[in-house]
Amino acid sequence: MMGVPVTILLDGEGKEVKRSSGFKPNELDELIFKIENYK
C-alpha cells in the first residue's frame, strides 16, 4: 500500500485552512502563493 502525501495549510493559530491530498503541483503552487501573500 502506497502512502498519499497530504499538505495542510494552517493559519497563525494553528487551525487548518486548506488541505491538499496527493501530489498536485498546481494546487501546491497556489497554496504557496497564498502563504507568501498572506503576510
27 lies in some domain: yes
Report the pLDDT value the prediction gives residue 13, as an integer from 0 to 100. 92
CB 19 within 8 A of CB 37: no
Distance CA 3, CA 35 (A): 25
Domain count, the chain: 1
In terms of residue numbers, what domain contains 30? 6-36
Report the pLDDT value the prediction gives residue 20, as an integer from 0 to 100. 78
1 lies in some domain: no
**Mean pLDDT per 10-residue section of the chain, whose length is 39 residues:** 80 86 79 76
Report the pLDDT value the prediction gives residue 36, as an integer from 0 to 100. 81
Distances 20 to 27, 39 between C-alpha atoms, Å: 7, 21
Report the pLDDT value the prediction gives residue 35, as an integer from 0 to 100. 77
17 lies in some domain: yes
pTM, to two decimals: 0.47
Secondary structure string (H, E, C) spanning 1-39: CCCCCEEEEECCCCCEEEEEECCCHHHHHHHHHHHHCCC
18 lies in some domain: yes
Report the pLDDT value the prediction gives residue 15, as an integer from 0 to 100. 92
